[in-house]
């Protein structure tokens, strides 16, 4: 069987859940056949819908519905007119088990300050890295332990704000879908008692403690002055480490995720949960004492990612909601009720607008003292947001909630954040349309897109091979570290190779699988985390 280079039929290259809606995307109308891979038997014959213009990709596309195929197995699709075939895929009760496992295992590969041994890392093992103490910016005499945590992305920086978003996604996934994490990863801490997802989050949380100043303020990030060359293995990055100045956004996110962690870890480790709670309360005190935005911008001699943000109201709101959910102290309830009146997006799930985690904490709170008016308002806003995602999905040729101008840096993060929100709306409203729309986002990520590409390394018939990720670039292994979510199409063309090779292409086509394309093909912990949350929905034990 020869794969078409014309991308005539695209499918989810991993598979489709049994009894779900199943669609392929075609660039030609006509009759198609679903074929069982092993026997070559035609198990279904169908007709595509009419071709429609997909503005984002520049293609004329049609859906082909094969939902009637509910046999377990491996299949591919053939267009009867010209014998073009799709990638192979599975139909299973839970087709995403290995992918879910890989998305979680990726966080182990992102670990800093620990030797990744062949026992757990396979061929992608390497020595411990970044073990030296770091100095506080503008105070070179103040050296602090800064080991541990996750490398943020394709570089070796460690950042509080996106790290908090990643931990929040993992903790929320465990909170809502605990049975999805029954299987060990495994990682060095695997003990059969505490789920490995919580062991993994603790690796990052233990590092975050080191980012908190005695005042309660939190250093914004820990990096070298410049990014190391692409060919640098983590243990060879020996430049001085710098604690960048405290920011109110980092402090707010820290307080929020520590308060959430205090609840989640309480049944497993009460002492650790208490430590998380104390750290959250201390940082809240800093926020109260520093009511103005203390925004972060890179100092002139630091050129690593800055994650700058001119507002912190969303971070403060998240912190107040999580602290109220943990302590039930009316002080935090009063604070969140006050902050909620401010104009900011109440369901943002991005590091730059992260208030949605606060709203979710409030809606999921078991406190008997929630404000009914606020609770009902948040439910109404959640439904409106989900309905908007649903509307956008119906206008897109591949069924996702991105408009033409939303193919930005890290567009796959946006796709998965939107799928998260749809699944949370499904949890509250039981509207099957939300669940089906979220699954369409999964299909897009895993190959049912205009590039016929699975955006997760190591998964799919045709997956990303050359991510902007230093460990995979610098090692001598042909295959990239598996389970990493690539950033995805970015019409901004922010890097040189994108500008050279992607000029004039429609937004959804603005992607290049090349190690130099940091603007389309980098990886990041907070791109993996919403994908893990979303796949947990279909991995949970029924």
pLDDT value for 370: 82
Question: pLDDT value at position 161?
Answer: 98
Q: Check 513, 515, 516, 539 and give the catalytic one.
A: 513
Report how far residue 261's alpha carbon sits from residue 172's, in angstroms, rounded to the nearest whole number: 10
The model's pLDDT over 420-431, given as tens digits with 9 standing for 90+, comes to 999 999 999 999
Domain 1-95 classification at class level? mainly beta
pLDDT (0 to 100) of residue 5:
38
pLDDT at 366: 75
The whole-number pLDDT of residue 19 equals 95
Question: In which element (H, E) is residue 142 found?
Answer: strand 139-144
Query: Tell me, what's the pLDDT at 139?
Result: 87
CB atoms within 10 A of CB 405: 9
Cβ partners under 8 Å of residue 183, min gap 6: 97, 101
The yes-or-no answer on residue 495 being catalytic is no
Whether 513 is catalytic:
yes
Q: Which of 54, 314, 522, 539 is catalytic?
A: 522
Q: Where are the domains of the chain?
A: 1-95, 97-120+132-451+520-539
Under DSSP, is residue 75 helix (H, G, I), strand (E, B) or coil? strand
Cα 438 to Cα 63, 404, 429, 446: the distances in Å are: 17, 19, 14, 13
| Bridge partners, residue 158, by sequence | 222
Report strand pairing: 42-47 vs 52-54.
unpaired
Average pLDDT, the chain: 96
Q: Which DSSP string do the residues of 8-62 spell out, in sequence order?
A: -EE--SSEEETTS--EEEESS-SEEEEEETTT--EEEEEE----EEETTTTEEEE
Instruction: Find the Cα–Cα–Cα–Cα dihedral 230, 351, 310, 212, rounded to 10°.
Output: -80
Structure tokens at 449: 């897109």
Compute the distance between CA of residue 421 and CA of residue 230 in angstroms, rounded to an integer: 35
480/522 Cα distance (integer angstroms): 12
Q: Looking at residue 257, what DSSP letter applies?
A: H
C-alpha triplet 266, 272, 277: angle, nearest 5°: 75
Q: How many CB atoms lie within 10 A of CB 56?
A: 25
Q: How many residues does the chain have?
A: 542
- Residues with Cβ < 8 Å from 354, sequence gap 6 or more? 161, 164, 165, 253, 314, 315, 318, 348
Please confirm whether the linkage preceding 89 is cis (ω < 30° from 0).
no
The closest alpha carbon to 211, from 271, 139, 161, belongs to 161
Regions in the chain scoring below 70 on pLDDT:
1-7, 367-368, 542
- Predicted confidence at residue 367, as pLDDT, reads 64
We find that the CATH architecture of domain 97-120+132-451+520-539 is: Alpha/alpha barrel (1.50)
Per the structure block, which two tokens stand in for 139? 């105070």
From 103, 124, 126, select the one nearest 114 (Cα to Cα). Answer: 126
43 touches 75 (CB < 8 A) = yes
User: At what angle are helices 432-445 and 411-429 packed, to 10 degrees?
Assistant: 160
State both tokens at 451: 């590039």
């Amino acid at each position: 069987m020869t794969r078409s280079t014309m991308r005539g039929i695209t499918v989810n290259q991993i598979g489709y859940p049994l009894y779900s809606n199943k669609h392929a995307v075609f660039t030609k109308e006509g009759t198609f056949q679903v074929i069982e891979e092993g026997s070559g038997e035609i198990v279904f014959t169908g007709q595509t819908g009419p071709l429609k213009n997909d503005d984002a990709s520049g293609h004329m596309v049609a859906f082909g519905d094969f939902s009637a195929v509910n046999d377990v197995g491996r299949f591919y699709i053939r267009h009867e007119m010209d014998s073009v075939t799709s990638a192979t895929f599975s139909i299973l009760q839970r087709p995403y088990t290995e992918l879910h496992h890989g998305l979680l295992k990726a966080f182990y590969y992102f670990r800093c300050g620990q030797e990744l041994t062949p026992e757990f890392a396979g061929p992608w093992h390497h020595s411990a890295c970044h073990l030296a103490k770091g100095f506080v910016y503008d105070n070179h005499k103040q050296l602090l332990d800064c080991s541990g945590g996750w490398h943020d992305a394709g570089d070796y920086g460690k950042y509080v704000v996106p790290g908090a978003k990643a931990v929040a996604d993992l903790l929320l996934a465990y909170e809502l879908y605990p049975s999805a994490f029954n299987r060990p990863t495994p990682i060095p801490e695997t003990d059969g008692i505490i789920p490995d997802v919580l062991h993994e989050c603790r690796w990052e949380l233990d590092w975050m403690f080191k980012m908190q100043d005695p005042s309660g303020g939190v250093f914004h990030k820990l990096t070298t002055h410049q990014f190391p060359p692409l060919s640098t293995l983590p243990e060879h990055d020996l430049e001085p480490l710098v604690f960048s100045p405290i920011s109110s956004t980092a402090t707010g996110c820290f307080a929020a995720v520590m308060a959430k962690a205090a609840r989640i870890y309480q049944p497993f480790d009460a002492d650790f949960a208490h430590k998380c709670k104390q750290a959250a309360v201390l940082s809240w005190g800093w926020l109260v004492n520093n009511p103005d935005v203390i925004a972060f911008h890179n100092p002139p001699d630091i050129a690593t990612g800055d994650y700058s943000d001119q507002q912190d109201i969303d971070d403060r709101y998240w912190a107040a909601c999580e602290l109220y959910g943990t302590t039930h102290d009316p002080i935090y309830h009063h604070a969140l009720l006050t902050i909620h009146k401010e104009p900011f997006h109440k369901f943002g799930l991005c590091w730059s607008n992260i208030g949605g985690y606060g709203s979710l904490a409030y809606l999921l709170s078991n406190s008997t003292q929630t404000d009914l008016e606020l609770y009902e308002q948040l439910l109404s806003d959640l439904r409106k947001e989900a309905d908007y995602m649903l509307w956008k999905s119906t206008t897109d040729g591949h069924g996702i909630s991105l408009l033409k101008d939303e193919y930005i840096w890290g567009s796959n993060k946006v796709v998965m954040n939107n799928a998260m929100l749809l699944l949370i709306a499904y949890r509250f409203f039981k509207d099957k349309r939300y669940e089906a729309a979220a699954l369409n986002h999964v299909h897009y990520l895993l190959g049912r897109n205009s590039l016929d590409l699975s955006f997760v390394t190591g998964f799919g018939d045709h997956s990303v091979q050359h991510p902007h990720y230093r460990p995979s670039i610098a090692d001598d292994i042909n295959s990239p570290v598996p389970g990493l979510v690539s950033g995805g199409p970015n019409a901004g063309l922010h890097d040189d190779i994108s500008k050279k090779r992607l000029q004039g292409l429609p937004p959804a086509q603005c992607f290049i699988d090349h190690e130099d394309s940091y603007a389309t093909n980098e990886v990041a912990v907070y791109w993996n985390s919403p994908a893990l949350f979303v796949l947990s929905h279909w991995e949970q034990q029924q």
